[in-house]
Amino acid sequence: MSWRAEASGGPYGPGRALRLIVVTPDPVKLPHETTEYLITNFWESEKDRSPGRVPVTPAASLEVALLYARRPRIEQAYREVKQHLGWTHCQARSDMALRRHWSLVCAAFCFLHW
């Protein structure tokens, strides 16, 4: 079971552009290995319209913690796909060339898989 709280101070807090959310299993000791400090620019409520916030629906601290918990798995999967499909070897310089390369690699992968 994790404990979470929203901290305020400095550039973080209500009415400011950034929120700081602390997620930890032990709120007294705050162990370094298992405590995470999440910084986000998601809104806290509909009333919060401070500059620099992401224009999406408001997110409670639990939602922010769950989103950030998924991040390592998503990054690992992206690294594996990038390595498997050969995206690490692409020497494209422009955005259009990179998109064309990715489209061709994905098409070749689908063709071979089929």
Q: What is the pLDDT of residue 45?
A: 73
Structure confidence at residue 44 (pLDDT):
77
pLDDT block averages, 10 residues each, the chain of length 114 = 86 84 91 90 73 72 88 87 75 80 83 80
Q: Yes or no: say if 19 and 39 are a contact pair by the CB < 8 Å rule.
A: yes
- What pLDDT, on a 0 to 100 scale, did the predictor assign at position 86? 73
- pLDDT attached to residue 15: 73
pLDDT score, position 49: 64
Is 5 in contact with 11 (CB distance < 8 Å)? Answer: no
> 0.75 exceeded by the pTM?
no
List the structure tokens of 76.
């690992």
Round the CA-based radius of gyration of the chain to a whole number and report it.
20
Contact residues for 68 (Cβ-Cβ < 8 A; gap 6+)? 23, 36, 38, 40
Antiparallel, parallel or unpaired: β 3-7 and 19-24: antiparallel
